[in-house]
């Protein structure tokens, strides 16, 4: 089992990500990826340059050529990996976590982040000290590529109907969260012809404007600004730009990730028939939309790498998850908050966002999390699985345990990055979803004792 890597990358603080550890991890990844260019991008965190320097040393020591992209979003690095023909990439980001956290995502030559299982291979190389070491005359030069964000933005502008957007000139409020979105979003949407107002739009690894995760509580200023300005939409990204959320124009209401992903599935399948992929923790609205278009829906474990792998396997045309991460394979196999935002802005140039959301299948959800230590997570959820099987419940155990009861369902799964078990319930009414959540929260709490 992987010791450092979770659902999507390795995360820790300065006590884990020492220069020695970071360098060793990079050298092991370079050995795993094979000789060639390894792209390196980072988010706005204060620890970014420290970790980057160590990672570059590790890559050089293993005979790889580091290509520094600077402070750029994760999806930009994933996009450039295939565009520049790199052997792989490393993104230094802790995504939506607080500023003291550090993280590293390793990406293969196809632009797919390494899952926990594949990352275990890298860990084994590191732990066994079997890294390739270059001789003095095999050390490559460090190169820099400063056009990555521009490349990504230009590709997005060519992909969407830029004419439709510029004609409508939608009024947008962009909350960049002091993260990597600062370096691409304002320019992208201004060049698409939108009237933009920005908040938290200067890069700052302390995240002074708001917490990095774009939850409803954290984007209260964005909601208020959309309402005050009468904007067509509000858009907010997390620290590394792979996740995006939206605020509607009607009352400045927060749109949950399930609904924005469902809208993306609707838009994608209208244009091109094909399979869709989502996780076992995503709304039944996705299933309803895929069925309505005569398309297949495939499920994966929770986490972008698993969605990506299943999309490649099934040749899917769209994939994503409930937190607001959507994968568009025309660009790359990583979640992309900017391509997603541009596609939805194109849609609202046709009709208001609130009307698009109102046209989707209606479900209600409730979620919570219970603190559990690493060992407890596995033990308690295994006990719950047995209890539910004994009771004759309809369960799915791809990732944690999901219980289906007609149009309602609940999933209980261990967090891949934190010491929690997450519980998510969905039903046709809020009352039913809340009751289902409470039932399983009580079950899990009882088993914890």
Q: Enumerate residues 6+ apart whose C-beta is below 8 A from 125.
A: 28, 31, 32, 131
For residues 334 and 75, the answer to whether their CB atoms sit within 8 Å is: yes
**Cα 381 from Cα 372, distance rounded (Å):** 10
304, 309, 314, 318: CA torsion to nearest 10: 20
95 has catalytic annotation: yes
For residues 117 and 2, the answer to whether their CB atoms sit within 8 Å is: yes
**CA-based angle 78:177:353, to the nearest 5?**
85
**Cα 88 from Cα 113, distance rounded (Å):** 9
Strands of 179-272, DSSP E = 195-199, 233-237, 244-247, 254-255
Q: Enumerate residues 6+ apart whose C-beta is below 8 A from 418.
A: none
Strands of 171-214, DSSP E = 171-175, 195-199
Count H helices and E strands in the chain, helices first: 15, 21
Q: Which residue's structure tokens are 């209606």?
A: 362
Active-site annotation holder among 57, 95, 113, 283: 95
**Cα 403 from Cα 409, distance rounded (Å):** 5
Q: Which of 168, 338, 160 is nearest to 243 (CA)?
A: 338
Please identify every residue annotated as catalytic: 95
């Amino acid at each position: 089992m992987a010791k450092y890597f979770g659902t999507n990358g390795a995360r820790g603080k300065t006590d884990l990500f020492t220069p020695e550890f970071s360098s060793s991890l990079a050298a092991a990844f370079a050995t795993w990826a094979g000789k060639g260019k390894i792209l390196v991008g980072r988010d706005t965190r204060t620890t970014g340059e420290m970790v980057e320097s160590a990672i570059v040393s590790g890559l050089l020591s293993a005979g790889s050529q580091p290509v520094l992209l600077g402070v750029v979003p994760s999806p930009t690095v994933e996009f450039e990996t295939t565009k520049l023909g790199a052997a792989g990439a490393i993104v230094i980001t802790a995504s939506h976590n607080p500023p003291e956290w550090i993280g590293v995502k390793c990406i293969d030559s196809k632009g797919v982040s390494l899952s926990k299982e594949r990352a275990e291979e890298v860990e084994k190389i590191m732990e066994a000290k079997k890294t390739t070491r270059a001789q003095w005359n095999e050390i490559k030069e460090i190169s820099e590529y400063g056009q990555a964000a521009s490349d990504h933005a230009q590709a997005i502008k060519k992909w969407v109907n830029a004419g439709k957007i510029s004609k409508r000139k939608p009024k947008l409020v962009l909350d960049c969260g002091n993260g990597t979105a600062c370096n691409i979003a304002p320019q992208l949407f201004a060049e698409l012809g939108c009237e933009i107002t920005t908040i938290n739009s200067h890069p700052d690894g302390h995240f002074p404007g708001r917490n990095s995760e774009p939850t409803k509580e954290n984007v209260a200023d964005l909601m208020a600004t959309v309402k005050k300005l009468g904007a067509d939409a509000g858009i907010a990204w997390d620290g590394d730009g792979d996740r995006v959320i939206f605020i509607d124009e009607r009352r400045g209401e927060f749109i949950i990730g399930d609904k924005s992903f469902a809208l993306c599935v609707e838009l994608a399948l209208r244009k091109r028939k094909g399979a869709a992929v989502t996780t076992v923790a995503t709304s039944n609205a996705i299933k309803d939309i895929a069925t309505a278009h005569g398309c297949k829906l495939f499920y994966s474990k929770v986490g972008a790498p698993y969605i990506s792998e299943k999309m490649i396997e099934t040749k899917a045309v769209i994939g994503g998850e409930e937190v607001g991460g959507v994968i568009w394979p025309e660009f790359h196999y990583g979640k992309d908050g900017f391509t997603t935002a541009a596609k939805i802005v194109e849609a609202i140039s046709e009709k208001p966002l609130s009307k698009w959301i109102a046209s989707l299948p209606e479900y209600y959800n409730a979620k919570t999390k219970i603190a559990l230590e690493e060992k407890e997570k596995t033990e308690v959820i295994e006990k719950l699985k047995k209890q539910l099987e004994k009771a004759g419940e309809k369960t799915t155990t791809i990732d944690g345990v999901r219980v289906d009861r007609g149009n309602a369902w609940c999933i209980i799964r261990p967090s891949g990055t934190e010491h929690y078990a997450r519980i998510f319930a969905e039903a046709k009414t809020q009352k039913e979803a809340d009751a289902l959540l409470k039932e399983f929260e009580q079950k899990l709490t009882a088993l914890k004792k």
